[in-house]
Structure 1
Amino acid sequence: MNGANYFLIVNFLVGISFCTVFLIVSTRSRSRIAARWIAVAYAVASLSAIAELLVAYTDFPKVFAIAAFMSVLAGLLLIRVGVARLYGVPAHLTALAGFFCAAVVLDVFIYDLPRGTWLHALSYQTPFALAMLFSAIAVIRSSRREPIDRAMVVLLSVATLQFPVKAVIAVLVGAGPTAKDYVHSPYALVSQSMTGVFVVLVGLMLLSVFVLEIMEEARSDSEVDALSSVFNRRGFDAGCERVLRRQPVGPHALILCDIDHFKRVNDTFGHYSGDRVIRTFADLLSNSAPEDAVVGRLGGEEFCVMLPGVSLNAAMLFAQALRGSMAMQPIAGLPQTFRVTASFGVSIFKSSADMSAAMRFADNALYEAKAAGRNCVRQHQSVMPIAMAAG
């Protein structure tokens, strides 16, 4: 077995291995369709190794040479579809299918041209380069700009360049006088080793994107309250930290909210109705809060809203609007005349170092609202100098 044969077998096994891994990843990733497209891409592309061997060791070199070309190109285009699904950009299946058919016709046309010439080498490698370039463009067109996405663009761009480089090597070194001689040529060893390297690198990079996505999804699940669909206490604290890293200087507002007489709702109408009250109030907070706000359920019937860059007066107006909306909000499953109210405590703070104190101030203000008869909004008076200084 020569070196080229060895790399052909290795590339086949690597392709099948990546196919298996992506199928496994598809069972956990929210981008499962993308993972399955990429799994199929690796399975299809790996067939080229078998076709290349059949070119050298059967009496039908043209058939299997064209089959090898088709499997590699189909695999690259299927990766383009998977990348498009992963990054949320259009796939244009009809256009890709048309490109595939045109490239196959070109390969049939150039098959009998002298091998090792610029015309043959560039015509053969250009469809592969374009197919890989399509994937790089798909990532560029997406809205994702994380470091791994930039690394993906660089890798796909370099992988695109390998094909014209192969064309140059084929001309300079020689790819064998016929397709049957390819496996025994020095060029085959270089070409298959380059292919193996990029098969692994692109596969590992794509796997990294999926793994990071799965980790992010798991982190999000651990930070979201299952009943209300807003942050739990852990997620609320983490969300506030992320916001304050982006906007460290205040004023920022905290609104602590508590559903009035919630135990009475459970005792009178049952826990299922109590769950509906929780969900209704959480939806009101989420739908009313600005996009950059952090909304969390701290426990039981207590919620908190963090409003970055909002003054005390604006926070008070927002809390009053929430109070009025909740007091008029009908609850599904409860009597039409029954209304649930909530009490609110408001405080502000200037930086992350002051947030824990602001939480205590908001809790004190909430206690004052309850003492005043509930269904009202109170601010903690000790925050007033901070608000004035911030203004």
Structure 2
Amino acid sequence: MRVLETDISMNGALFLLTVNFLIAQLFCAFFLVISRRSRIPSAGLWFAAAFAVASLSAVFEVMIRYGDFDRIASFGAFSSVLSALLMIRVGIGRLYAVPANIWTITALLCAALPLNLMIYDLPRGSFAHSLGYQMPFAIAELICAVAVYRSGRRETADRVLMALLLVTAGNFASKVYFAVKFSGGDTAQAYLGSTFALVSQSLSAVLVVSTGLTLLAVIVVEIMDDAKANSEIDPLSGLLNRRGFDARVSQILARPMSAYPHSVIVCDLDHFKAVNDTYGHGAGDQVILAFGRMLAGHAPPEAICARFGGEEFAIFLPSTGETTGYLFAQGLRNSFSSLAIIGLPDTVRLSASFGVCALASPGDSIVDTIKGADSALYDAKKGGRNRVNRAGQAISVNPEGWQAQA
């Protein structure tokens, strides 16, 4: 009966080793595929390599069962798992912008690998063997958890990953006690056939799958966030598009203590069609790019700048009155009219027209405010272009007299 129980435990352990190997290979493939879509592909590649290396531990443990070189196979199993954990630390460093300290990793490897060889002849159920074998794993997992914590990221997936890394570190640390309490045998082969090995490997499989899935989730969330951000960016000007503009403005207006008034400036490049017709669409693209860079460079940090389409742009100035918005637009008008643009002759200077409207109180509509600014822009165009006009201002002012009007 005792032999039968041992055979069942042995077969169960071998089954789990096979499952762990296949799971690790699947995660390796998943990370290789997903890294191609990630903004930080090196993180996914490190994770893929880590799971590929970790899968070798199952091969080494099977070699212990059927081979006659237990010392080498046991060392190989230990080395592959520890190396994989440290590779995950490197991948986390890439993903979370918390670079791994090469000296810490090297020191851990230089201490753990010789130690593993030294403790091999100790009984597997002894405290000294368990401590020397399990603690490097616990330390590696703890280093990974600390890296996630140091990143400052606290999204749900980040918190789950940090918790799983800490639980896994605790799992390795607890094995120091349980390996002694429920001894799996004095030799590597005896350990593999023990009930403790079956339970230990089952728990490890659950933690490996959970950690792998969470790492995948973190990368998928990062890819989705990037895709959303890219969908809100105008590729030519580098500014927000209309969708991104509306989303950012809505966030500001939704604040409980949003400080009114806010100003909206709508601007349009003068005679832009003539630029395309005379100098080509390449030159027109350079004009759009130059104007977008000028807006981004002159706007205050909290401003929201966007290209609505064609040659039309908009700026939202939070907690800014109409007079201040008007002065800011005049500064933009002056800067652009003196700007030299790549693709145009040195003697050619362009101009733009601006309309300004204020969002005075929470009861005002941002849509109506944009329409007001657009109407003011139309008046500026009708009044001769290269001008700034306020909403409700019947006649566009002469550029030279803007200071008196302000």
Bigger mean CA deviation after superposition, 161-170 or 69-78: 161-170
- The correspondence for 1:217, drawn from 212, 226, 236, is 226
Bigger mean CA deviation after superposition, 305-314 or 256-265: 305-314
- The correspondence for 2:295, drawn from 269, 274, 285, is 285
Q: 2-side partners of 1:44 and 1:243: how far apart? A: 48
Q: What is residue 128 of structure 1 aligned with on the other side?
A: 137
- The correspondence for 1:177, drawn from 183, 186, 195, is 186
Alignment check: 8 A CA contact 2:123 2:185 kept? no
Q: 1-side partners of 2:187 and 2:233: how far apart? A: 62
What letter corresponds to residue 153 of structure 1 in structure 2? M
What letter corresponds to residue 255 of structure 1 in structure 2? I
- The correspondence for 1:33, drawn from 30, 42, 52, is 42
- The correspondence for 1:303, drawn from 287, 303, 313, is 313
Task: State the TM-score, normalized to the length of structure 2.
Answer: 0.90
Q: 2-side partners of 1:125 and 1:353: how far apart? A: 64
Q: 2-side partners of 1:115 and 1:260: how far apart? A: 82
Q: What is residue 367 of structure 1 aligned with on the other side?
A: 378
What letter corresponds to residue 128 of structure 1 in structure 2? F
Alignment check: 8 A CA contact 1:244 1:352 kept? no
* Offset of residue 381 of structure 1: 3.6
Deviations 1:5-36 (A, max 9, x none): 11111001000000000000011111100100
Paired residues for 1:142-221 under 5 Å: 142-221=151-230
Bigger mean CA deviation after superposition, 242-251 or 353-362: 242-251
Q: Once the two structures are aligned, what percentage of the paired residues are identical? A: 48
Alignment check: 8 A CA contact 2:124 2:191 kept? no
Alignment check: 8 A CA contact 2:64 2:70 kept? yes
Q: Could you say if the C-alpha distance between residues 124 and 352 of structure 1 is closer, same or farther in structure 2, counting changes exceeding 3 Å? A: farther
Deviations 1:294-333 (A, max 9, x none): 2111111000011222222221221111111101110112
What letter corresponds to residue 135 of structure 2 in structure 1? T
* Offset of residue 95 of structure 1: 3.0
Alignment check: 8 A CA contact 2:282 2:343 kept? no
Q: What is residue 366 of structure 2 aligned with on the other side?
A: 355
Q: 1-side partners of 2:54 and 2:106: how far apart? A: 16
* Offset of residue 249 of structure 1: 4.5
Bigger mean CA deviation after superposition, 143-152 or 79-88: 143-152
Alignment check: 8 A CA contact 1:56 1:181 kept? no
* Offset of residue 376 of structure 1: 1.6
Alignment check: 8 A CA contact 1:342 1:376 kept? yes
What letter corresponds to residue 277 of structure 1 in structure 2? V
Bigger mean CA deviation after superposition, 369-378 or 61-70: 369-378
Alignment check: 8 A CA contact 1:248 1:352 kept? no
Paired residues for 1:316-335 under 5 Å: 316-335=326-345
Give secondary structure in 2 for the equivalent of 1:347. strand
Q: 1-side partners of 2:251 and 2:45: how far apart? A: 33
Q: What is residue 95 of structure 1 aligned with on the other side?
A: 104
Task: Check if 1:340 corresponds to 2:364.
Answer: no
Q: 2-side partners of 1:353 and 1:221: how far apart? A: 30
Task: Check if 1:141 corresponds to 2:150.
Answer: yes
* Offset of residue 57 of structure 1: 1.6
- The correspondence for 1:49, drawn from 42, 58, 82, is 58
Deviations 1:66-105 (A, max 9, x none): 1100000000000000000000012223431231121111
Q: 1-side partners of 2:253 and 2:132: how far apart? A: 55
Q: 1-side partners of 2:99 and 2:72: how far apart? A: 33
Give secondary structure in 1 for the equivalent of 2:254. helix
Q: What is residue 15 of structure 1 aligned with on the other side?
A: 24
Bigger mean CA deviation after superposition, 137-146 or 336-345: 137-146
Q: What is residue 377 of structure 1 aligned with on the other side?
A: 388
Bigger mean CA deviation after superposition, 283-292 or 127-136: 283-292
Q: What is residue 258 of structure 1 aligned with on the other side?
A: 268
Paired residues for 1:99-118 under 5 Å: 99-118=108-127
Q: 2-side partners of 1:289 and 1:282: how far apart? A: 11
What letter corresponds to residue 376 of structure 1 in structure 2? R
Alignment check: 8 A CA contact 1:249 1:351 kept? no
Across the aligned residues of Structure 1 and Structure 2, the Cα RMSD in angstroms comes to 1.6
Task: State the TM-score, normalized to the length of structure 1.
Answer: 0.94
* Offset of residue 352 of structure 1: 8.2
What letter corresponds to residue 284 of structure 1 in structure 2? M
Alignment check: 8 A CA contact 1:23 1:36 kept? yes
Q: Could you say if the C-alpha distance between residues 381 and 267 of structure 1 is closer, same or farther in structure 2, counting changes exceeding 3 Å? A: same
Q: 1-side partners of 2:200 and 2:28: how far apart? A: 22
Unaligned stretches of 5+ in structure 1?
Answer: 383-391
Q: What is residue 64 of structure 1 aligned with on the other side?
A: 73
Bigger mean CA deviation after superposition, 22-31 or 90-99: 90-99
Bigger mean CA deviation after superposition, 29-38 or 52-61: 52-61
Unaligned stretches of 5+ in structure 2?
Answer: 1-9, 394-406
What letter corresponds to residue 45 of structure 1 in structure 2? A
Alignment check: 8 A CA contact 1:18 1:39 kept? yes
